[in-house]
Structure 1
């Protein structure tokens, strides 16, 4: 066969030829690329200033997707109230914008914002955290906000906003009545019972 003849001819020509030993010129080891979880751990490793009463986590949090709808309802919040919150039917009395904030600053601002809302008897607010489609890891501040709000006892419910208020890049937040407001309500409603 022709193929056998060609192979034999090739082998005849190659007799006595030895492979050249070359030094490795290219390092084939992969450079270490930081994984998103490592980046995330580093960003979350923030030291709390001494004397701060901010108890919001600095630990690793569960990351959400940029387009996820976020929702939370604590015990005692009726489905009707939660439905109204979800639909954006409560007046927005306060607003916090976290766009372009570093995690440490956002953590402090969320904590103080909720404390101030309760102090001034603000029951319904909005927090604009953004979707985080371009952040690394993705939806980082959105994920942080989702975690932090669940850790604040004054927050009794939240839900991703309607499209005209920022959609999945914002949250409607429902805040517990202050002790002062609860006392006012008790006096008001008890007075009505006594008068009747």
Structure 2
């Protein structure tokens, strides 16, 4: 007996009395067409979306803990190092601040998105987030600080952030630079055109 015929016989022996499904019943949903979600399902979805403003961009899963004595520093491509240095040394005025000291992590996660978006909506450019810093890598203030570093990168509005200088809170506070809104850019263009004549 040839090898292919033997494999076919073995296969048939294993399959025994198995028969193909009928086409009409070959579905995962025997009830027919997919049903629309119920009112209760829609309400639960809406409630879940409202609980995490901005979607679920602020996850605290898989956060790399930043050593407590390492400064935070991040900037998007195109941001000049002189701007980041000026931010680091407090060269911009505090236009708004958010105090997260001794608050639970979930509350901080809930407070940050509206703060960033409201500051951006009001054309603020430099804001200060005060979060504290623990002495141990897994202390609650340091965990918050590490989460904050991850969360801030998720916002399109954030151009850069750095740990503050000693006068502004040191490693327990973070300067955040927001990008210019379209309205602010438009105002800048108008001013420049007026200067040119």
- With normalisation by structure 1, the TM-score equals 0.69
1:98 counterpart = 2:100: yes
Q: CA offset at residue 82 of structure 1?
A: 1.0
Length, aligned pairs only: 147
Report the counterpart of residue 179 of structure 1 in structure 2: 182
Unaligned runs of 5+ in 2: 1-46
Pair member with larger Rg: 1
**C-alpha displacement of 1:57:** 2.0
Q: CA deviation at 1:128?
A: 0.7
In the aligned structure 1, how far is the partner of 2:118 from the partner of 2:103?
Answer: 19
Cα distance in 1, alignment partners of residues 139 and 128 from structure 2:
24
Deviation of the 1:136 alpha carbon:
4.5
Distance in 2 between residues matched to 1:100 and 1:171, nearest whole Å? 16
Which of 63, 66, 69 is the equivalent residue of 2:65? Answer: 63
**CA distance change for structure 1 residues 180 and 60 in 2, over 3 Å: closer, same or farther?**
same
Q: Is the 8 A contact 1:73 1:158 kept in 2?
A: yes
Which aligned runs of 4 or more in structure 1 are off by greater than 6 angstroms? none
Corresponding residue SS for 1:49? helix
Deviations 1:41-99 (A, max 9, x none): xxxxxxx9323324222322111112211101111211111111111111111111111
Aligned partner of 2:90 among 88, 91, 104 = 88
CA distance, structure 2, for counterparts of residue 155 and residue 187 of structure 1: 24
Distance 1:189 1:60 in 2: 45
Deviations 1:158-191 (A, max 9, x none): 1111112110111111111111111111222223
Structure 2 counterpart SS, 1:122: coil
C-alpha distance in 1 between matches for 2:95 and 2:130: 14
Partner of 2:49: 50
| TM-score (normalised: structure 2) | 0.69
Which SS does the other structure have where 2:183 is aligned? helix
8 Å Cα contact 1:132-1:141 kept in structure 2: no
Which structure 1 residue ranges, 5 or more long, are not aligned?
Answer: 1-47
